[in-house]
């Protein structure tokens, strides 16, 4: 490795060393029944420790591959989505990992691609082409990257069924972005905040964009934007409640994204869900004392509704 490569690697490590962790969205910190160790299982470098009931990342082991971010069901781990979205846009749907040969737009590792990034990019750009390097011998992501990427692609098709993705070892067309140019771009400030170039959702659905920016995670905004453009059958994960529900607050307490809410309306309580905020993590289902919740799939209209979906209403026996 040359001096410039070493400087670039050091710069990347300093500016974007490990995923950002938000404990309030972690199912371990939420004390969801069964807990969660998805990030631990996904990490190929033993950089994650859950022994203190939170996610702790060893930055001397972490390579920044992003596999833990792909695996996290509560979106507690994240990298800024803006740079990857911008690279997909500039490459017109073509993107390569930093170890792939040839030219074209680049991302550090394909493990950093999320369902929302893929779905939203495909909804604007059409077929995506992702070029990977020798994952089997790569020290960044390792041999599990291709399998994890296919799982991410399958998840993305829930939000944008028309998604077409080709994963190739062939070189992409386009000018080679040299290490010197990439280093200069990074110094110039091309590392941007999460999803800053996300297009506005269709106005006809009545979104309050200012309010959405404050509540809906950037990854979920990307998924929702893709669903809004889809002409296919969107299969967004959500939950349904049976009459066995006692309207207790457990599901609302463990939900990592605030998708499930319980409101009081006079003498009654109302259990409702913001469909676009649900990741289908299943924490509410596993934690529900009477086992009154089940995972379902909802379509485009429910996802884009400006109002939450009512799951159950009633006056609980304990009130």
Residue 7: which pLDDT band, with cuts at 50, 70 and 90?
Answer: low
Helices 115-125 and 82-90, axial angle in degrees (round to 10) = 30
Residue 264 pairs in a beta bridge with 269
Dump the DSSP string for 48-88.
EE-TTSS-EE-TTT-----HHHHH-TT--EE--SHHHHHHH
Supply the pLDDT for residue 215. 79
Range 34-61 average pLDDT: 96
Measured distance CA(143)–CA(67) in Å, rounded: 11
Alpha-helix runs per DSSP H in the chain: 3-15, 38-42, 67-71, 82-90, 115-125, 145-159, 179-187, 209-215, 218-229, 250-254, 283-287, 300-304
| Half-sphere CA count of 52, side-chain side, radius 13 A | 7
CA of 114: how far to CAs of 77, 79, 243, 313, in Å? 12, 10, 36, 35
Rounded to a whole number of angstroms, the CA Rg of the chain reads: 21
Supply the pLDDT for residue 207. 40
Residue among 106, 111, 47 at smallest CA distance from 79 = 111
Measured distance CA(184)–CA(142) in Å, rounded: 28
In this prediction the pTM is 0.85
Supply the pLDDT for residue 4. 55
Mean of the per-residue pLDDT values of the chain: 87
The answer on pLDDT for 153 being more than 70 is yes
Measured distance CA(115)–CA(41) in Å, rounded: 19
Supply the pLDDT for residue 201. 42
- Cβ–Cβ < 8 Å for 313, 273: no
Supply the pLDDT for residue 206. 40
Range 20-34 average pLDDT: 95
CA of 274: how far to CAs of 54, 195, 236, 308, 315, in Å? 26, 21, 12, 5, 22
Supply the pLDDT for residue 310. 96
Range 275-287 average pLDDT: 97
| Half-sphere CA count of 271, side-chain side, radius 13 A | 26
- Cβ–Cβ < 8 Å for 70, 111: yes
The answer on pLDDT for 54 being more than 80 is yes
- Cβ–Cβ < 8 Å for 213, 225: no
Token output for 317: 């026996």
């Amino acid at each position: 490795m040359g001096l410039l490569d070493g400087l670039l690697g050091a710069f990347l490590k300093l500016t974007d060393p490990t995923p950002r962790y938000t404990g309030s969205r972690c199912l371990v910190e939420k004390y969801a029944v069964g807990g969660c160790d998805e990030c631990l299982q996904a990490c190929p470098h033993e950089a994650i420790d859950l022994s203190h009931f939170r996610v702790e990342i060893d930055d001397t082991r972490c390579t920044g591959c992003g596999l833990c971010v792909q695996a996290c069901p509560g979106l507690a781990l994240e990298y800024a989505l803006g740079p990857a979205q911008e690279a997909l846009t500039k490459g017109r749907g073509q993107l390569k990992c930093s170890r792939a040969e040839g030219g074209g737009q680049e991302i550090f590792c394909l493990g950093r691609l999320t369902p929302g990034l893929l779905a939203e990019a495909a909804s604007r750009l059409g077929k995506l082409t992702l070029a990977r390097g020798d994952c089997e011998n790569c020290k960044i992501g390792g041999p599990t990257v291709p399998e994890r990427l296919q799982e991410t692609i399958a998840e993305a098709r829930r939000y944008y069924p028309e998604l077409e993705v080709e994963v190739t070892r062939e070189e992409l067309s386009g000018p080679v972005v040299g290490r010197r140019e990439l280093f200069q771009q990074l110094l110039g400030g091309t590392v941007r905040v999460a999803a800053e170039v996300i297009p506005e959702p269709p106005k006809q659905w009545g979104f309050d964009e200012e309010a959405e920016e404050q509540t809906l995670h950037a990854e979920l905004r990307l998924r929702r934007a893709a669903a809004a453009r889809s002409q296919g059958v969107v299969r967004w994960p959500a939950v349904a409640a049976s009459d066995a529900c006692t309207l207790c607050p457990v599901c609302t307490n463990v939900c990592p994204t605030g998708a499930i809410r319980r409101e009081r309306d006079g003498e009654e309580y109302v259990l409702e869900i913001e469909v676009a905020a649900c990741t289908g993590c299943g924490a509410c289902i596993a934690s529900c004392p009477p086992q009154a919740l089940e995972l379902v799939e909802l379509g485009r209209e429910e996802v884009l509704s400006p109002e939450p979906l009512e799951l159950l209403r009633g006056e609980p026996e304990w009130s």
